[in-house]
Amino acid sequence: MQDSQDTIAVIGTGVIGTGWIIRFLFNKKKVKVFDPSKKQKKFLLNEIKRTSKTLERFYAKKINLEKQLFFCNSVQEAVKNAGLIQENAPENEKLKTKVIKDISLSAPKSAIIASSSSGLLPSKIQAQAKNPERVLIAHPFNPVYLLPLVELVPGKKTTKANILKANRFYSKIGMKTLTLKKELPGYLSDRLQESMWRESLHIINEGYASTKDLDDAIIYGPGLRWSLMGTFLTFHLAGGESGMKHMLEQFGPALKLPWTKLKAPKLTDNLKKKIIQGTKIQSKNKSIENLSNLRDNFLIDLQKLLKKYKV
Ligand SMILES: NC(=O)c1ccc[n+]([C@@H]2O[C@H](COP(=O)([O-])OP(=O)(O)OC[C@H]3O[C@@H](n4cnc5c(N)ncnc54)[C@H](O)[C@@H]3O)[C@@H](O)[C@H]2O)c1
């Protein structure tokens, strides 16, 4: 059974590890989990409880915790007999390299070892692994149990066969896989998100707008379009009858204007305070749990619309 991807190990059960576990459970996988912090068990069980009603509707399935979820006391115990291991330790190259190495020493030789890293280079974190050809990045988006995108990034030693194997696995559990031709820091989506994040921090830092103004600038305009089309197709439509050609003629010169800064500002105490207070006001004292439920239901409705109108 070593090759079976019916048994999955999840190492690190914070926000992302927990999201993966819930997606795996709804896809009828047996999931063995390990986190060095004992308090994560409560967080995971609470998240399963919080999301179960909504997700039973979305997946049209129920999970059976007793038969599917197993808490382990070590990496070694968790990865034994697993067909795929999803690593979700904190984003730190040195730590992840060590965790991936530990996983690789005990995992079945044929098991895929996938890191959820948001931007680290797979060649770096596979460097000390045993059989590094099966180590790759599978970068998901929060909440993992609802958002389909997963970026698959090969390291220099990752084989094509293992990327294909991972691709099949994630596709089967309802995900939209995006395989990068070669590794680059930040991959694709986080590079795009990060450019907006950096620009937003400059705008706050220089006092042009509040955190709410900047969120509204996305929510009521570009964000609605982005749910259906990305930047390129959206801008193609911005060019009228001639599409992208006219768009480039009209807005091409703006590329030379000082519209964006992109180099991140220094994260001073003052800037941190503005952002933390701003988002606190925006959340109207709603708990993270309450906001997560709102987000989850919104994402379900939006995905129904996306299916209906997709070009
Ligand atoms: N939060 C996001 O939106 C997001 C999205 C995509 C990918 N990621 C990536 O997922 C990974 C985890 O991020 P997160 O947001 O879940 O962080 P988190 O802080 O919520 O969780 C990290 C977990 O790792 C555990 N941990 C600490 N040391 C460990 C070790 N040595 N071995 C195993 N587990 C260990 C912690 O106890 C904690 O439960 C990071 O690589 C991050 O970049 C995060």
Q: Is the CB of 158 under 6 A from ligand 1?
A: no
Q: What is the number of the ligand 1 atom nearest to the C-alpha of 37?
A: 37
Please name each of the domains of the chain with its CATH number. Answer: 7-179 (3.40.50.720), 189-309 (1.10.1040.10)
Main-chain dihedrals φ then ψ at residue 291, nearest 5 degrees? -65, -35
- How remote is the CA of residue 9 from the centroid of ligand 1, in Å? 15
pLDDT score recorded for residue 2: 42
* Contacting residues for 126 by C-beta, under 8 A, at least 6 apart: 100, 132, 135, 136, 155, 157, 158
CA dist., res. 51 & res. 45, Å (int): 10
pLDDT score recorded for residue 290: 93
Q: Name the token pair of 287.
A: 């708990």
- How remote is the CA of residue 263 from the centroid of ligand 1, in Å? 26
Q: Is the CB of 89 under 6 A from ligand 1?
A: yes
Q: What is the dihedral of CA 161, 162, 165, 170, to 10 degrees?
A: -140
Upper half-sphere CA count for residue 257 (Cβ side, 13 Å): 5
> β-strand 149-154 against 135-139: which pairing, if any?
antiparallel
How deeply is 228 buried, as exposed, middle or buried, from its count of CB atoms within 10 A (0-12, 13-18, 19+)? Answer: middle
Q: Identify the bridge partners of residue 70 per DSSP, sorted by sequence position.
A: 32
Instruction: Please tell me the residue having the least CA distance from ligand 1 atom 20.
Output: 14
With the most atoms of ligand 1 within 8 angstroms of its CB, the residue from 35, 189, 193 to mutate is 35
Q: Name the token pair of 272.
A: 């941190």
Asked whether 152 and 178 are in contact (CB, 8 A), the reply is yes
Residue type, 108: P
Reading the chain (311 residues) residue by residue, the pLDDT tens digits are 344 789 999 999 999 999 999 999 999 999 999 999 999 999 999 999 999 999 999 999 999 999 999 999 999 999 999 999 999 999 999 999 999 999 999 999 999 999 999 999 999 999 999 999 999 999 999 999 999 999 999 999 999 999 999 999 999 999 999 999 999 999 999 999 999 999 999 999 999 999 999 999 999 999 999 999 999 999 999 888 888 889 899 988 888 888 888 888 898 999 999 988 999 999 999 999 999 999 999 999 999 998 899 88
pLDDT score recorded for residue 1: 37
